[in-house]
Structure 1
Amino acid sequence: MIRVFENCSLRERNSFGIEGRAARLLEFEHADELLKIFRGGGPGPWYVLGGGNNILFTGDYAGTLLHPAGRGIRVTAEAGDRVEVRAEAGTEWDELVAWAVREGLWGIENLSLIPGTVGAAPVQNIGAYGCEVKETIRSVEMCSTDTCNMVILNGEHCGFGYRESVFKHALRGRAVITAVTFSLSRTPRPRVDYGDLARETERLGGPTLRNIREAVCAIRRSKLPDPAAMGNAGSFFRNPTVDRSVAEELRARYPDMPVYPAEEEGKIKLAAGWMIDRAGMKGHIDGRVGVHDRQALVLVNRGGATGGEVLDLAREVQRAVRERFGVEIDMEVNIL
């Protein structure tokens, strides 16, 4: 059943807690309902609003927001130690991770406690603690708004990169994801060699599925503010990639600067949070907005802020990093 909301308040539908209104919001559960929306003349200007965890509203939205409300997880195939799991787009991402851990399935445990829905996971190619969701995505089911038909896109055709996918580029505004199928494993494949994860996992008794999940959750809770208590969208900025020569020059000036391998040959990934901290912006407060004092990648709504105030702060952070290091850091959050 399609649910229609006119002049819909957005404050409870975005993790920043920013006030705003949408001219119309349509909730749908099934793919045939979504097809009905587009085959019936289309919704006009539209945008997909999942859990509202990676978006900043800077004003009212004059078009139609499409909200996938279908939830559900089921096994669709098993072969050897591989298990294919299909999840509806409206399923909370961490609900899927918790389910996989209970079922003894490896592959997404390092992505525990990432806010948002399953439908948003391939768009951002979410990642944490040395893992990215692209490693487990078998296929993505989507409505092509060009043809008004359902299409299944194999994972290898999704154009995945660091926080990138075809859904952010060639298919932006042309596809609505309705479900994702993941290929998980019954064979233990612990990956705990990133950041504090090895130490925290060992403290809990070793790299079991449950211990890795608990370790990730504990680390994230210690560093990231709860959106229910202080509005935020998690990491606001992406880690930049630069030429190896640039990274080497910066390391010569800042020997303690963290660097990581990048997918592109001849490129190095830098730690945006470290640079924001060294640029003097960690813990910075500007009226009703601020940079979190425990995680410099996170911008927070301290109460009653507008989207414009958050965006102004983001630009101030970018400027500070540019002036200190000569490096551009891009925003990861979608601005609407």
Structure 2
Amino acid sequence: MLVEKNTPLQDCNTFGIVASADTLVRIRSAADVQKFAASPHYQGRQVLVLGGGSNIVLTGDVIHAVVLKMEIPGIAVVGETDSHWIIEAGAGVRWHDLVAWTVEHGYPGLENLALVPGTVGAAPVQNIGAYGVELQDRFHALDAVDLVTHEVFSLNAAQCAFGYRDSIFKHAPAAPAGTPVAKAQGMGLAGRAVITKVRFALSKHWKPELGYLDLQRKQEQEGVAHPTAQQIFDWVVAIRQAKLPDPAVVGNAGSFFKNPTVTEDQCRDIIAREPKIVHYPMPDGSIKLAAGWMIDACGWKGKTLGNAGVYDKQALVLVNRGTAANSVTGGEVMTLAKAIQTSVYERFGIRLEPEPVVV
């Protein structure tokens, strides 16, 4: 466990927002989390767990919560059944590196999630998803440390309460502080549990997921009837690179808004007014609307407010139009986000919900 004071965070968040951490603790093992929880650096202070910084907007100059910078390494096959391989990765592993490793080593199943930004430890919190696959579809279990009891515990998929870009880790605890995690499940673990390792169950009977139009177009262009996992990986990388800015070049936090879901009746009402709106039926009977299409329809693509802008190739992405010396502020990002939310609500009657955590 390495403790740092007054640490700059501009390079620790993909938006490139200038801020600093009053206290930053580098975590490289579950034991480090346990040491931190028992140390005077914690003592019940608010905690901000930071992975790749790809899903966060910092709105203050100084973060007074203790920042836990997750740097736990490692990828390995830790189990096998007749139907699945069990792959484990440390919370600090870059997500795309895990996906590339599984494809390279012959364990398919995560390829649709290539180039999703962030780290492995953050993936279950957000229940990341892309191109027809969500983390919960491949999830096996995870290990975490309880900051209250200092104990290591494990959760399966049901216990994580996954939803659309949602999980138990995004909800505040409702149980009394001393309640063991085993009894607190279902009540929220935000600020209480720190994920250290995540395990995935990858099927030995793999089938390609090609439900998204962009992938179907790639398949037609390439003339491949039965693509391999490597080919899908390459297609997803190419699609994302063509649509989305590289955070190393243009600061951003990926998709800024969730795609809203509505009922069939609500969708019919919207289509009556907006016949071209992009929408997708969901397995539960609801309809997912394309937030990026709505933002574009409201005229925001390519627009700028202060140093915050809307990416000119994908309206769902807000970007840093500033420089290293004059970077965008969290306040500018949120002012732009709120203006977009107002426009979409006034035209479509839909309230867009931001994906990133706002601190």
TM-score by length of 1: 0.96
Mapped to 1, the partners of 2:2 and 2:320 lie a distance apart of 30
Secondary structure at the residue paired with 2:246? coil
Secondary structure at the residue paired with 1:6? strand
Mapped to 1, the partners of 2:145 and 2:41 lie a distance apart of 12
Of the three residues 115, 118, 131, the one matched with 1:129 is 131
Mapped to 1, the partners of 2:223 and 2:80 lie a distance apart of 30
The answer on whether the counterparts of 1:281 and 1:320 sit within 8 Å (CA) in structure 2 is no
Which residue pairs with 1:209 in the alignment?
Answer: 229
Does 1:182 find its partner at 2:181? Answer: no
Of the three residues 314, 319, 343, the one matched with 1:295 is 314
What is the CA distance between 1:263 and its match in structure 2? 5.3
Does 1:199 find its partner at 2:217? Answer: yes
- AA partner of residue 10 (structure 2): R
The answer on whether the counterparts of 1:204 and 1:211 sit within 8 Å (CA) in structure 2 is no
Which residue pairs with 2:348 in the alignment?
Answer: 325
Which residue pairs with 1:36 in the alignment?
Answer: 35
Secondary structure at the residue paired with 2:333? helix
Which residue pairs with 1:270 in the alignment?
Answer: 289
Deviations 1:10-49 (A, max 9, x none): 1000000000111010001111111011023462221101
Secondary structure at the residue paired with 1:189? coil
What is the CA distance between 1:288 and its match in structure 2? 1.4
The answer on whether the counterparts of 1:205 and 1:211 sit within 8 Å (CA) in structure 2 is no
Which residue pairs with 1:10 in the alignment?
Answer: 9
| % identity of equivalent residues | 47
The 5 A counterparts of 1:98-177 are 98-169=100-171, 170-177=188-195
The 5 A counterparts of 1:31-110 are 31-41=30-40, 43=42, 44-59=45-60, 60-110=62-112
How many residues align? The count is 334
Mapped to 1, the partners of 2:211 and 2:33 lie a distance apart of 42
The answer on whether the counterparts of 1:240 and 1:271 sit within 8 Å (CA) in structure 2 is yes
Deviations 1:71-118 (A, max 9, x none): 110111112241001100000100110011012212111000001000
Secondary structure at the residue paired with 2:52? coil
What is the CA distance between 1:205 and its match in structure 2? 5.4
Q: Give the 3 Å change call, closer, same or farther, for CA 187–264 of structure 1 in structure 2.
A: closer
- AA partner of residue 23 (structure 2): R
- AA partner of residue 282 (structure 1): K
Mapped to 2, the partners of 1:260 and 1:245 lie a distance apart of 14
- AA partner of residue 291 (structure 1): V
Secondary structure at the residue paired with 2:338? helix
Which residue pairs with 2:357 in the alignment?
Answer: 334
Which residue pairs with 2:20 in the alignment?
Answer: 21
Mapped to 1, the partners of 2:219 and 2:169 lie a distance apart of 34
The answer on whether the counterparts of 2:257 and 2:291 sit within 8 Å (CA) in structure 1 is yes
Mapped to 2, the partners of 1:186 and 1:110 lie a distance apart of 17
What is the CA distance between 1:284 and its match in structure 2? 1.2
Mapped to 2, the partners of 1:221 and 1:308 lie a distance apart of 28
Mapped to 1, the partners of 2:211 and 2:261 lie a distance apart of 21
Moved more, 277-286 or 19-28: 277-286
Moved more, 50-59 or 204-213: 204-213
Of the three residues 243, 257, 266, the one matched with 1:237 is 257
Secondary structure at the residue paired with 1:76? strand
Secondary structure at the residue paired with 1:196? helix
The answer on whether the counterparts of 1:259 and 1:269 sit within 8 Å (CA) in structure 2 is yes
Moved more, 270-279 or 188-197: 188-197
- AA partner of residue 208 (structure 1): T
